[in-house]
Amino acid sequence: MSPSLAAESSSRPGQASVSGLMAEIAGTGTDPARGGYTRPVFSTAERDLRTWFIDQAQRRALAVETDANGIIWAWWDVPGTAPGSARENAIVTGSHLDSVPGGGAFDGPLGIASALVAVDILRARGQVPRRPLAIAVFPEEEGSRFGVACLGSRLLTGAISPERALRLRDPDGNTLADVAAANGQDPERFGPDPGRLASIGQFVELHVEQGRGLIDLARPVAIGSSILGHGRWRLRITGQGNHAGTTLIQDRRDPMVAAAACVLAVRAVALRFRNARATVGRLVPVPGGTNVIASAVDLWFDVRHPEDAVTAAVVENIRQEARLAAAGEGCDMELTEESLSPTTHFDAGLRTALQDVLPEAPVLDTGAGHDAGVLAAHVPTAMLFVRNPTGVSHSPEEHVEDADAETGAAALADVLASLG
Ligand code: GLV
Ligand code: MN
Ligand code: MN
């Protein structure tokens, strides 16, 4: 970053606070039934947040564009560059605005609000970028609507084919193609964008910490080292739908009973492998009536482990247990991998650069997935984590103290300044 030109700093809003920006969106996507926030991609709530972000970016005179994959980019261009000229070696920060069902306020939006405030801080310091700087908002990071996490960054990088992505369905049966088209995106244009990817010099994502690392270390901000390998699988168990009153227990082929055994098997298998995590967080009976023996059950499980071979072994063990459980109930089963991300180690050089800027910040790994993990396979990538005093995430109890949020944004500003 270099000292400001007078024209750069005139007629802009003053410096916002992260807590102030978070307060502006606190009423968007609240979920009275589950608690917390439910902001699936392309829902009214997520669309409102995208509109809010675009407004915030435009108030800061950032040049906003939504790319072919629905990723929003808000550019602070190098002063003096001609409008429309190619952006190269850009510094990109950002995160996501979608949430898990009943999620917390900070997972995603903290990174976006902090990025906006970081721009304000740099401007207040009179700094301007020597390289293009962008805030990116990635759609469907959580995969809570279409099942595949980090869908926007996967499409951008080619980690998922547009053909497969566009066929993904939400719980109501709508395809991504239809939902995207209804939201002004051209499904024909979805897919890898090597030119845009090549224009990113470095990517830095700030995120609420989703565990207890910073609590234990009594520090407000950490630098990310790696993301645990993780994947999602869908298990469909098919039996015989029937009447709850007229069907004798011994005559049933009840997939719910097999599914219950599978839930227990997922945990039992995970316990056999050191450091493995396996979770059943979603189970949907078909058709789902109190007096109906289900005809099928869909059960999704998430497995995480530092070694991809161990993740594969955990899944294979679960598959065998599920086959036995289904057969014991006279049911069939089918297991489908929905997504898989290997363990990601962030760029060592960039991490060292961040450590030089933030010498007090500890270096922590994370068990949570992020768009930064997808981008890391293509561009030097780093993460900053901000302390979450509850240590709880993907839950309404997720929290960040105001002072830590501002410290995080200042740390991000320092990092962006050092890179630019
Ligand atoms: C997203 O937060 C994930 O880790 O699944
Ligand atoms: Mn999340
Ligand atoms: Mn997140």
Q: How confident is the model at residue 11, as a pLDDT?
A: 53
Q: In Å, how far from its chain's centre is CA 10? A: 35
Q: Which amino acid is at 133?
A: L
Would you say the CB of residue 235 lies under 6 angstroms from ligand 1? no
Q: How confident is the model at residue 9, as a pLDDT?
A: 47
Q: Whose CA is nearest to atom 1 of ligand 1?
A: 369
Q: How far apart are CA 200 and CA 414, in angstroms?
A: 19
Would you say the CB of residue 369 lies under 6 angstroms from ligand 1? yes
Domain layout of the chain by residue ranges: 3-228+343-419, 230-341
Burial grade of 246 (CB within 10 A; 0-12, 13-18, 19 or more) = exposed
Q: Whose CA is nearest to atom 5 of ligand 1?
A: 369
Would you say the CB of residue 149 lies under 6 angstroms from ligand 1? yes
State if pTM tops 0.75.
Answer: yes
Would you say the CB of residue 142 lies under 6 angstroms from ligand 1? yes
Q: Which amino acid is at 179?
A: V
Tell me if 100 sits within 8 A of 107, measured CB to CB: yes
Tokens of 45: 């709530």
- The CATH class that applies to domain 3-228+343-419 reads alpha beta
Q: In Å, how far from its chain's centre is CA 164? A: 19
The residues, any chain, with a CB within 8 Å of residue 150's CB and separated by 6 or more, are 138, 140, 141, 143, 159, 341, 369, 370, 371, 373, 374
**Measuring CA to CA, which residue among 94, 78, 241, 224 is closest to residue 156?**
94
Ligand 2 centroid from CA 299, angstroms: 20
Would you say the CB of residue 103 lies under 6 angstroms from ligand 1? no
Would you say the CB of residue 29 lies under 6 angstroms from ligand 1? no
**Measuring CA to CA, which residue among 204, 239, 241, 201 is closest to residue 221?**
204
Would you say the CB of residue 134 lies under 6 angstroms from ligand 1? no
Q: How far apart are CA 329 and CA 327, in angstroms?
A: 5
Ligand 1 centroid from CA 40, angstroms: 14
Tell me if 227 sits within 8 A of 365, measured CB to CB: yes
Sign of CA dihedral 95, 73, 133, 347: positive
Q: Which of 142, 153, 340, 393 to mutate to test the pocket of ligand 1 (most atoms within 8 A of CB)?
A: 142
Would you say the CB of residue 374 lies under 6 angstroms from ligand 1? no
Would you say the CB of residue 208 lies under 6 angstroms from ligand 1? no
Closest-lying ligand to the alpha carbon of 104? Answer: 2
**Measuring CA to CA, which residue among 30, 37, 46 is closest to residue 183?**
46
Q: How confident is the model at residue 12, as a pLDDT?
A: 64
The residues, any chain, with a CB within 8 Å of residue 186's CB and separated by 6 or more, are 68, 180
Q: How confident is the model at residue 85, as a pLDDT?
A: 85
- Reduce the DSSP state of residue 183 to 3 states and report it: coil
**pLDDT of the chain, 420 residues: tens digit per residue:** 776 544 454 456 689 999 999 999 999 999 999 999 999 999 999 999 999 999 999 999 999 999 999 999 999 999 999 877 889 999 999 999 999 999 999 999 999 999 999 999 999 999 999 999 999 999 999 999 999 999 999 999 999 999 999 999 999 999 999 999 999 999 999 999 999 999 999 999 999 999 999 999 999 999 999 999 999 999 999 999 999 999 999 999 999 999 999 999 999 999 999 999 999 999 999 999 999 999 999 999 999 999 999 999 999 999 999 999 999 999 999 999 999 999 999 999 999 999 999 999 999 999 999 999 999 999 999 999 999 999 999 999 999 999 999 999 999 999 999 998
Strand partners, 2: 128
Residue whose tokens read 């979608």: 98
Q: How confident is the model at residue 82, as a pLDDT?
A: 85
**Ligand 1 atom nearest 302 alpha carbon:** 5
For 230-341, CATH number out of 3.40.50.300, 3.40.1410.10, 3.30.70.360, 3.30.565.10 equals 3.30.70.360
Describe the chain by its helix, strand, coil percentages, rounded to 5: 35, 25, 40
Q: How confident is the model at residue 2, as a pLDDT?
A: 75
Closest-lying ligand to the alpha carbon of 95? Answer: 3
Instruction: Order across the sheet with 277-286: list the strands.
Output: 277-286, 296-304, 230-238, 332-341
Q: How far apart are CA 168 and CA 349, in angstroms?
A: 37
Closest-lying ligand to the alpha carbon of 138? Answer: 3
Q: How confident is the model at residue 14, as a pLDDT?
A: 82
